Structure 1
Amino acid sequence: MASKSKGGILETIKTVVYAVAIAMVIRTFAYEPFNIPSRSMVPTLLVGDFLFVSKLSYGYSRHSIPFSPDLFDGRILQTPPERGDVAVFKLPSDNRTDYIKRVIGLPGDRIQMKAGVLHINDKPVERVRVEDFEYVDAAGRLSFVPQFRETLPGGRVYYTLDASPNQRYDDTGVYSVPEGHYFMMGDNRDNSTDSRVPMRLRGVGMVPAENLVGRADVLFFSIDTDFEWWQVWKLPANIRYSRLGDLIE
């Protein structure tokens, strides 16, 4: 009996080790789950969204591996991101913190904000006012925020929020995107720390290609976080069923 029991324990341990190894391979080379903790990508992504990020999309750097070990420089099997992709990257100032923003500027581009309107290479991006977005702030107050449909060069369409055209980064100088870097912006324009804010001011600055982790592809779960997690009986009523399985545009 003791021998059978010992054999059963060893088999269980082997199964767990295999499962963990397979999960690590998938997480490193295929898809990694992420959750959204902030409002910087509203209305595209909401706090409480859980999504899969494709590691396959951009190739692999050291940041594709958990804990970003310094094993090699640059990217392997690199495929450049497309303008308009929603991408996860490591914050350049520490190379550890995960951020998620939209790819707005490609290498060689000139980016500028004028009265809240995005300009790429001296041309304003098409921007159409649509219905207001119902927004619940951190204090639980409901408000209605102006919402816009933007169309980037190349045809990518998405929605942004812009509560006021007079915020600090609604009017900027021209940002020139260096080779091998990308300019990232949040869709919630007045509530996003992104490439409009330089690193010296605790912002994002330009993001090196090496810091890209992957492209956000699909929502696999979403839950309203305005309830206490210990109240498990309220969980089913707080799942955002309409968002499950949504592709991220």
Structure 2
Amino acid sequence: MKRLAGRAAGEIIETARFLGGVAAVWLGLVTFGFAAFHIPSESMQPSLEVGDRVAVSKWAYGYSVHSLPLGIGYILPESWNGRLAWHSPQRGDVVVFRDERQSPPRNLIKRVIGVAGDVVEVREGRLYLNGEAVVREFDEIRTYREHPSGLPVTVTHYTEVLPGGREHPIYEQRDNAPLDDYGPVTVRPGTVFVMGDNRDASRDSRAPEGPGLVPLENVVGRAETVLFTFERCRREEGMYCPRGRVWQGL
């Protein structure tokens, strides 16, 4: 009887150790490695849809005051420059950053369009970098139901090709919207210029009430993949409805 009790106690201890190890690994990953970010709006369509859960690597560029684990960044002395860096965001990266212009501050997700020294301009809906028009290739016309109003929105789906060859999809409702003429603006050192892929439905660096040029110390991390999403829209003839996705890279 004692032998059975001792064996059961040993198994319980081993199970507890295993579960403790799993918890420690999980805590380490979410604290130092990755964070999950929920997409609340349509500003990054079609790359990211409302309801997507995105994995964000905190370590991609180093650690900023906003990505240091356990809130350490918020208790460091102000003399610290706010960033322990080994890489900087590149054009085409999708980044999560802290928008401190809002009250209260909150995290946003956008695509990096301009880096230090770039001259960014938008003319009649076309993006220009350093005086050159960025390639924009027509794909198709789509109509989808806006979230949460449910009203139909018709957009043109393009593939945009940034200098260096990185491609990403964008939506344009029209080329004379309020933010379709902007700049030119030179990106200052230590900052990046960001835009949403849904160009006429994004409050980004172009917008007067937007985040402006985003300081690198406000960058939380790089969005790596869509972990999962559940199909939210109803299938209707003539309406675009994105399918549910699992582990889809950006």
Pair in the same fold by TM > 0.5? yes
Partner of residue 45, structure 2: 42
The 2-side partners of 1:246 and 1:16 are apart by 29
Count matched residues: 233
Moved more, 61-70 or 13-22: 13-22
The 1-side partners of 2:66 and 2:57 are apart by 13
Q: Percent identity?
A: 40
In the TM superposition, residue 239 of structure 1 has moved relative to its aligned partner by: 10
Aligned residue for 1:245, secondary structure, equals strand
Partner of residue 230, structure 2: 223
The 1-side partners of 2:189 and 2:224 are apart by 25
Equivalent residue letter for 2:56: V
Aligned residue for 1:52, secondary structure, equals strand
Partner of residue 53, structure 1: 56
Match of 2:89 among 81, 95, 118: 81
In the TM superposition, residue 140 of structure 1 has moved relative to its aligned partner by: 1.9
Aligned residue for 2:83, secondary structure, equals coil
Contact 1:41 1:188 in 2 (8 A): yes
Q: Say if 2:160 is the partner of 1:158.
A: no
The 1-side partners of 2:197 and 2:242 are apart by 23
Q: Say if 2:98 is the partner of 1:90.
A: yes
In the TM superposition, residue 190 of structure 1 has moved relative to its aligned partner by: 0.5
Aligned residue for 2:143, secondary structure, equals strand
* Deviation digits for residues 31-69 of structure 1 (CA, Å, limit 9, x no counterpart): 111110100000110001111111121111121135552
Equivalent residue letter for 2:99: L
Aligned residue for 2:31, secondary structure, equals helix
In the TM superposition, residue 11 of structure 1 has moved relative to its aligned partner by: 10
Partner of residue 235, structure 1: none
Equivalent residue letter for 2:81: D
Partner of residue 249, structure 2: 247
In the TM superposition, residue 77 of structure 1 has moved relative to its aligned partner by: 3.8
Q: If each structure's strand is expressed as a fraction of its own residues, which one has the higher value? A: 2
The 2-side partners of 1:166 and 1:190 are apart by 9
Contact 1:92 1:207 in 2 (8 A): no
In the TM superposition, residue 218 of structure 1 has moved relative to its aligned partner by: 1.0
Partner of residue 119, structure 2: 110
Which has the higher Rg, Structure 1 or Structure 2? 2
Gaps of 5+ in 1: 228-237
Partner of residue 74, structure 2: 69
Partner of residue 214, structure 1: 221
The 2-side partners of 1:62 and 1:70 are apart by 9
Partner of residue 178, structure 2: 168
Partner of residue 145, structure 2: 136
Pairwise CA RMSD: 2.9
In the TM superposition, residue 219 of structure 1 has moved relative to its aligned partner by: 1.1
TM-score relative to the length of structure 2: 0.81
**Residues 209 and 142 (structure 1 numbering): CA distance in 2 closer, same or farther, change over 3 Å?**
same
